[in-house]
Amino acid sequence: MRSLRIIFDDFMREIDLVERFTIKGKMLFMTDERDQYAVMMAYARIGEIAKQIPNDLLDTQPQIAWREIKGFRDVLLHRYFEINIERVWEAVEDLPNLRLAVEALSANVPADDEDNLHLM
């Protein structure tokens, strides 16, 4: 069982990776298949991580489209032939809002939540 603290640490790590892979901007991102692939993998992980967080906790940050983030993961992994790279970049542009929401969620989790909520 993974603690929420670990889950949020994983979430922030993936956000950091997306930022690192897209630092060169949209024009270079659109022509670099390696960065595109890396960002899509990070977003697949972000969607999976979001699925591990209880919905009532996610609901405290209603400005984020959590359902769409979870669904984006499914498209990236299972319907990859439908991927629109422009849509991936739109997610990148919204990354600062996601970071703020995850930081807010994480701030409410005790540093050691071993005796609190655990997820399977």
pLDDT at 110: 72
Residue with tokens 């390696």: 34
Q: Give the total number of structural domains in the chain.
A: 1
Measured CA to CA, the distance from residue 85 to residue 67 in angstroms comes to: 20
pLDDT at 2: 82
118 membership: H or E segment, kind and range: strand 118-119
The answer as to whether 117 is a domain residue is no
pLDDT at 58: 96
The answer as to whether 35 is a domain residue is yes
pLDDT at 81: 84
**78 catalytically annotated:** yes
Contact call for residues 119 and 14 (beta carbons, < 8 A): no
The answer as to whether 47 is a domain residue is yes
The answer as to whether 116 is a domain residue is no
Determine if the pTM surpasses 0.85.
Answer: yes
pLDDT digits (tens, 9 = 90+) for 26-83: 999 999 999 999 999 999 999 999 999 999 999 999 999 999 999 999 999 998 888 8
Measured CA to CA, the distance from residue 79 to residue 119 in angstroms comes to: 27
Q: pLDDT band at 112, cuts 50/70/90? A: low
- Residue in 2, 20, 78, 87 annotated catalytic: 78
Q: Inform me whether the pLDDT recorded for 118 exceeds 50.
A: no
Mean pLDDT, the chain, rounded, equals: 91
pLDDT at 1: 64
User: What's the domain range around 51?
Assistant: 2-107
Give the residue, 91 or 120, on which the prediction is more confident.
Answer: 91
The answer as to whether 114 is a domain residue is no
**118 catalytically annotated:** no
The answer as to whether 113 is a domain residue is no
Q: 3-state DSSP call for residue 63?
A: coil
